[in-house]
Amino acid sequence: MTELIRISDPVSLQILSDMLASKQILFRVENVGMNALMPLPTVMDARVLVAEDDLAAAELIVRDLELDT
């Protein structure tokens, strides 16, 4: 698994997760909810990991959702 993106916004995380699942992209989310315990920017953001084979397709979804800024 390769890190696709770190994200702190739970709504954006849910939208991204839904899109990845709808395209049958194998992914895993780590550190979900940890930023609530330590609300420091980028310290405990959720990490979205995807399978190597799905990385290119997942990156396109991130760009389409404008989460790559």
Residues of the chain with pLDDT under 70: 33-43, 69
Q: DSSP readout, the chain?
A: -EEEEEE--HHHHHHHHHHHHHTT--EEEESTTHHHHS--TTTS-EEEEE-GGGHHHHHHHHHHTT---
Task: Determine whether domain 2-64 maps to CATH 3.30.70.790.
Answer: yes
Q: Tell me the pLDDT tens digit for each residue of 55-66.
A: 999 999 999 999
Tell me the whole-structure pTM to 2 decimals. 0.83
| Sequence spans of domains, the chain | 2-64
